[in-house]
Amino acid sequence: MKTSELRRIILAVLGCWIIAAALAAEPRDGTAAQAGSVPKFSHVIIVMIENKEFGDVIGNARMPNFNRWARQYALLTRYYGVTHPSLPNYLALIGGDFFGIQSDCTDCFVNAKSLPDLLEADGRSWKAYLEGLPTAGFLGSSSGRYAMKHNPFVYFESIRKDPGRLSRGVVPIAELASDLEKKALPDYSFVMPDMCNSAHDCGLDVTDRWLAKLVDSILGSPAFDPASLLVLTFDEGRTSEGCCGRPRQDGGGRIATILASPLVQAGFEDPTPYSHYSLLKTILRSWGLADLGKTSDPAVSLILAPWKSP
Q: Domain map of the chain by residue range?
A: 1-30, 36-296
Do residues 268 and 259 make contact, with C-beta atoms less than 8 angstroms apart? no
Query: Of 66, 154, 96, whose CA–CA distance to 283 is shortest?
Result: 96
Number of Cβ within 10 Å of residue 229's Cβ equals 22
pTM of the model: 0.89
Q: How many residues does the chain have?
A: 310
- In the DSSP assignment, the letter for residue 253 is -
pLDDT tens for each residue of the chain, 310 residues long: 544 454 454 444 344 333 333 333 333 332 333 446 999 999 999 999 999 999 999 999 999 999 999 999 999 999 999 999 999 999 999 999 999 999 999 999 999 999 999 999 999 999 999 999 999 999 999 999 999 999 999 999 999 999 999 999 999 999 999 999 999 999 999 999 999 999 999 999 999 999 999 999 999 999 999 999 999 999 999 999 999 888 888 899 999 999 999 999 999 999 999 999 999 999 999 999 999 999 999 999 999 999 998 7
Largest distance between two CA atoms of the chain = 88
What architecture is the 36-296 domain classified under in CATH?
A: 3-Layer(aba) Sandwich (3.40)
d(CA 91, CA 93): 5
- In the DSSP assignment, the letter for residue 80 is E
d(CA 261, CA 231): 9
Residues sharing a CB contact under 8 Å with residue 284, sequence separation 6 or more, in sequence order:
115, 118, 290, 291, 292, 295
Instruction: Give φ, ψ of 147 to 5 degrees.
Output: -130, 130
Q: Where are the beta strands (DSSP E) in 21-118?
A: 43-49, 74-80
Do residues 89 and 50 make contact, with C-beta atoms less than 8 angstroms apart? no
